[in-house]
Amino acid sequence: MTRRLLGILLELALPVALVAGYWVWSEQADNFYFPPFGEILDYFRELWLFDRVGSDLAPSLLRMLAGYGMSIVIGVSLGVLLGMSRVLRTAAEPVVEFLRALPAPALIPFSLLMFGAGDGSKIFVIVLGSVWPILLNSIDGVRGVDAQQLDMARAYQIPLTARVTRIILPAASPRIFAGMRTSLAIAIILMVVSEMVASSNGLGYFVLESQRSFAIPDMWTGIILLGLLGYVLNWLFLRVENRVLLWHRGVRGLLPAARTGAGDRGRATAATTAPAAPHPPSSTLSSSEKSDA
């Protein structure tokens, strides 16, 4: 318990010191670009509790979540397809490699032409940027499914749909989650970037507009809010991942001993070889966007 408390205190120490340092410094600095912290806090309260939540935060979040959600759906389904078929993978590889090399913001002008200045163009840009880590990791994950699990499925005549949903997807899920984590950060970045061009609301728009009207404390509140947003979303993501991939940590022997009831006879040594362990990549499609999963 005290250990845990110490851990929390240690984690808090640096942020608190940074904020306190800035606070003390900014109160007497009288710097136009770095307004006093108290002032930023006042503005923050005024703007984001909860005056502009509906007008700027909500639209941003919705675009981000829509784009991120579509990236997951597209990336995973396409990834399963390409992962299962060598022919499709070979055929798709040049296109995939070209598209993912394109910086998504380069397509903002095009997407404004295509989808207008509304949500559509922003969601398009978010999807275009964040789909790739999910797609590539899904392909990789599917290709890495243990052949013996697939043999087992065939021997027991498990139909294809069940093979995909009950074996291939779960087996690939550690990799898919790794891709989703990378994509989450990309989606947030592209949300902000896309809102800075031809937009009339959203956090990106707010930060840019504040700067243009020399409302520097306002601008800082937007930036701080974006930081908090990213932090919270990432925290939520890790919670979900931890839950969904509990088995994966169990297989790798990373769960506290109390959770595993290792047994009466024999040893579970062979069981600790992870079925979802990375496999040697054999094409550019499979080797990129590895993450620290």
Partner 1 sequence: MLEVTDLRKVYGPDPTAAPAVADLSFTVGDREFVCILGSSGCGKTTMLRCLSGLVPATSGEISLRGKAVTEPPEDMAFVFQDYSRSLLPWMTVRRNVAFPLRYKGIDKREAATLTDEALDAVGLSGRGDRYPWQLSGGMQQRVAIARALAYRPRILLMDEPFASVDAQTRSGLEDLLLKVWERYDITVLFVTHDIDEAIYLADRVLVLRPPANVGHEVTVNLPRPRHQVTTKQEPEFARLRGELYAALDGRSVAA
Q: Give burial (CB, 10 Å; 0-12/13-18/19+) of 15.
A: exposed
Residue 200, number of CB atoms within 10 A of its CB: 11
**How many whole angstroms separate alpha carbon 25 and alpha carbon 40?**
14
Q: How far is CA 253 from CA 9, 141, 167, 249, in A?
A: 29, 20, 21, 6
Backbone angles phi, psi at 54, to 5 degrees: -70, -35
Q: Which is nearer to partner 1, 83 or 129 (CB)?
A: 83
- Asked if 262 is part of the footprint of partner 1 (rule: CB under 8 A), the reply reads yes
| 169 φψ region: left (φ > 0), alpha (ψ -120 to 50), beta (else) | alpha
- Asked if 86 is part of the footprint of partner 1 (rule: CB under 8 A), the reply reads no
Q: Which is nearer to partner 1, 171 or 187 (CB)?
A: 171
* Structural Rg of the chain based on CA atoms: 23
- Asked if 106 is part of the footprint of partner 1 (rule: CB under 8 A), the reply reads no
Q: Which is nearer to partner 1, 230 or 250 (CB)?
A: 250
- Asked if 225 is part of the footprint of partner 1 (rule: CB under 8 A), the reply reads no
Nearest approach, Cβ of residue 146 and partner 1 (Å): 5
Q: Which stretch binds partner 1 (CB under 8 A): 100-108, 209-217, 220-228, 248-256?
A: 248-256
Q: How far is CA 159 from CA 154, 198, 276, in A?
A: 8, 49, 22
User: Which of 2, 14, 101, 154 touches partner 1 (CB under 8 A)?
Assistant: 154
**How many whole angstroms separate alpha carbon 13 and alpha carbon 127?**
37
Kindly state the tokens that stand for 15.
């942020």
**How many whole angstroms separate alpha carbon 250 and alpha carbon 256?**
9
- Asked if 270 is part of the footprint of partner 1 (rule: CB under 8 A), the reply reads yes
- The tally of CA atoms less than 13 A away on the side-chain side of residue 84 is 15
Residue type, 25: W
Q: Which is nearer to partner 1, 264 or 292 (CB)?
A: 264
User: Which of 41, 167, 215, 224 touches partner 1 (CB under 8 A)?
Assistant: 167
User: Over 67-80, what HEC string results?
Assistant: HHHHHHHHHHHHHH
Kindly state the tokens that stand for 199.
């937009």
Binding mask 22-51 for partner 1 (x = CB under 8 A): ------------------------------
- Asked if 247 is part of the footprint of partner 1 (rule: CB under 8 A), the reply reads yes
User: Which of 273, 284, 287, 291 touches partner 1 (CB under 8 A)?
Assistant: 273
Nearest approach, Cβ of residue 259 and partner 1 (Å): 8
- Asked if 155 is part of the footprint of partner 1 (rule: CB under 8 A), the reply reads yes
- Asked if 243 is part of the footprint of partner 1 (rule: CB under 8 A), the reply reads no
User: Which of 26, 149, 211, 288 touches partner 1 (CB under 8 A)?
Assistant: 149
- Asked if 160 is part of the footprint of partner 1 (rule: CB under 8 A), the reply reads no
Q: Which is nearer to partner 1, 78 or 171 (CB)?
A: 171
User: Which of 2, 3, 265, 280 touches partner 1 (CB under 8 A)?
Assistant: 265
- Asked if 263 is part of the footprint of partner 1 (rule: CB under 8 A), the reply reads yes
Residue with tokens 């992962």: 83
Q: Give me the residues that bind partner 1 (CB under 8 A), please.
A: 146, 148-149, 151-152, 154-159, 162, 166-167, 170-171, 173, 247-248, 250-251, 253, 259-273, 275
